Chains A and B, each alone.
Chain A
Amino acid sequence: MGKVIVVTSGKGGVGKTTSSAALGAALAQRGEKVVVVDFDVGLRNLDLVMGAERRVVYDLVNVIQGEAKLTQALIRDKRLETLFLLPASQTRDKDALTPEGVELVMAELKRVFDWVICDSPAGIERGATLAMRHADMAVVVTNPEVSSVRDSDRIIGLLDSKTLKAERGERMEKHLLLTRYDPNRAERGDMLKVEDVLEILSIPLIGIIPESMDVLRASNIGAPVTLADARSAPAMAYFDAARRLAGEVLPITIPGEKRGLFGKIFGRRAA
């Protein structure tokens, strides 16, 4: 039985889709069978970020409405055998996503895949609540910026109340993924530090993704950043985050930090 992960944030533009694609690819690069599901009906973009936009035939709504089989809607990644995409519908409105339909699709995906990664739309409406509904674990994507932290706090509240796990009285496992982090600006005091965000949100950290040109470059060419340049700083941070998702215990480092020899010797670690 596969694990369902929701990648969510409340706020738009913080890196949910980028992170869904990168984490999905990173897990698939470990040989695990992964599907990434786009829940943003009407404004899909995961297909574009993963470079599969020209190959979309059927989508999640087609499957829910019985117009296509799940196997027909799944798109296999051209570079990674074990990575699949289930695109959202671009044309229909959000109401086409029914709780019953989503439940059936998730149950089937869990049977076939090791990981089901749900890329949530921004906001707290139907698409977002349905994306988190069946999750076993949540990755809360947050930028070190006030409005993003506030919205993440709101989403954490929803994860603890509106999900199946919460309704069954179980504890939803939530992890913070801090994206677009600039260690130099944080050090200068111009950006919230990792510790600040952790203290405010008080959920465990799963990774810090540095602000990097490599992320934009990857989406330009239509490849998850872990595939576009596996040795780039953000890719390595996503690889580590994926390993932590899979249960490994790794010390968290602030990646891409420009340090001199002195800093390298006395390399500091964030908790």
Chain B
Amino acid sequence: MSIFQLFRKQRSAPMARERLQVLLAHERSSTGADLVSILREEILAAIAKHVQLDNDKVQVKMDRDEHVSILEIDVEIPLDAAMRAA
């Protein structure tokens, strides 16, 4: 590897190390069921108590990061269900 390539390309091993650390930290926590997954299940269960959940109308996105994870739950609640609850 020449000195020019050293500057041109960013080293990839530090990225591999960081990705693995984040991933394994999540996977090691209680046999695969990390906090984000638990929250996802409980939030969906709580919503299901009040609204008939249509799987097609629920979008769940997760993004686990080193310092923060993002859980995004997008639920379409039909108007009549909202009125019944009121």
The residues of A with any CB-CB pair to B shorter than 8 Å are 48, 51, 53-58, 68-69, 71-72, 90-91, 216-217, 219-222
Contact = CB atoms under 8 A, between A and B. Distances in A.
B13 A56 contact: no
B59 interface: yes
A220 B19 CA distance: 8
Interface residues of B, number: 23
Nearest to A217: B12
What 9 pairs across the A-B complex have the smallest Cβ distances?
A: A220-B12, A220-B16, A91-B32, A54-B64, A217-B12, A69-B55, A57-B60, A221-B15, A221-B12
B63 interface: yes
B45 interface: no
B84 interface: no
Contacts, number: 47
B65 to A, nearest CB: 7
B35 interface: no
B15 A220 contact: yes
B27 A69 contact: no
B55 A68 contact: yes
B19 A48 contact: yes
A54 B27 contact: no
A71 B56 CA distance: 8
